[in-house]
Amino acid sequence: MSAIRSARTVATVLGVGALGLGLLTACSDSSDDASPATSESQVSTTSEEAQDPPAMQECSREAPTGPLAVPTTSTEYTSGEAAYSVTLSDGTERCVVVESDSSGGDFDSTDKEIDIRFGDTSAGLLITIDGEKEGNLPTEVPQRVGDAFMGMQVDGNYFADSMHSGCEVTLTGLDDEMIAGEFTCTDVTLFEDGPFSLGSESTTTPLPEDTTITDAKGWFVLRA
């Protein structure tokens, strides 16, 4: 009887040991399966966080390109779209997106002037190109304009290149259906008021008077 009980005891111990080993193996397999899932989730989250916000993506776009055929009659462009990144002298960085489906600008066939103006006090773009000045109307695209006036609205504040020396404008398309181009600016001055504030009831906190745009880069397109 002692030998039988001893054999049963050994069998029981072996059975419990096998069960424990099975549970340990199952836990190990479950742990191995969980690790890749956690890692994949972390990679996905990191990738989403690394993407630029939609506004920044607009500012990084290239200027649209189009044909060159200087209009022979005065033309009104009824919509406008632009985006420009700016760095202010206080270190503030902004991506400004401007869209209008009611106005964009016009081309005057009499004095050959391109007048681009759309937006409001929060975000607006103003470019004037006198086509009667030599080198201002393109003979090919892209072509840098010889002389242009530029104004930009940034968070309710108006900055303008009043001396025509801080901004470079390049036209990438011009005909009676579209005007497109790009620009870069440095050291653009802050003004107390601008054309977009005329008739506007919105109020904003003015920046210090010595604030300037130290760097700006953007693109624009108008469509008839």
The total domain count for the chain is 2
Burial of 87 (0-12, 13-18, 19+ CB in 10 A): middle
Same domain as 27, residue 118: no
Residues 20 and 86 in one domain: no
Which amino acid does the sequence have at 199?
G
Q: What is the pLDDT of residues 16-46, one digit of tens each?
A: 344 344 433 444 444 444 444 433 333 322 2
The three-state secondary structure class of 32 is helix
Judgement on whether residues 160 and 216 belong to the same structural domain of the protein: yes
Residue 210 bridge partners (DSSP): none
Same domain, 40 and 111: no
Claim to verify: residue 151 and residue 93 sit in the same structural domain:
yes
Region 48-74: what's the mean pLDDT?
81
Same-domain check for residues 117 and 99 = yes
Long-range contacts of 140-144 (CB under 8 A, 24+ apart): 140/68, 141/65, 141/66, 141/67, 141/68, 141/171, 141/172, 141/173, 141/174, 142/63, 142/65, 142/170, 142/171, 142/172, 142/181, 142/182, 143/170, 143/171, 144/168, 144/169, 144/170
**pLDDT band at residue 185 using 50, 70 and 90 as cut-offs:** very high
Spatial CA neighbour of 148 closest among 183, 178, 180: 183
**Together in a domain, 11 and 108:** no
Nearest partner of 71 among 108, 102, 117, 103, judged by Cα: 108
At 147, the amino acid letter reads D
Instruction: Say if residue 138 is in the same domain as residue 184.
Output: yes
144 and 83 in one domain? Answer: yes
Polymer length of the chain: 224
Q: Is 29 helix (H, G, I), strand (E, B) or coil?
A: helix
pLDDT tens-digit series, residues 151-176: 999 989 999 999 999 999 999 999 99
Looking at the fold, whether 107 and 118 belong to one and the same domain comes out as yes
Confidence of residue 193 (pLDDT cuts 50, 70, 90): confident
Do 40 and 79 lie in one domain? The reply is no
Residue 41: domain span: 1-51
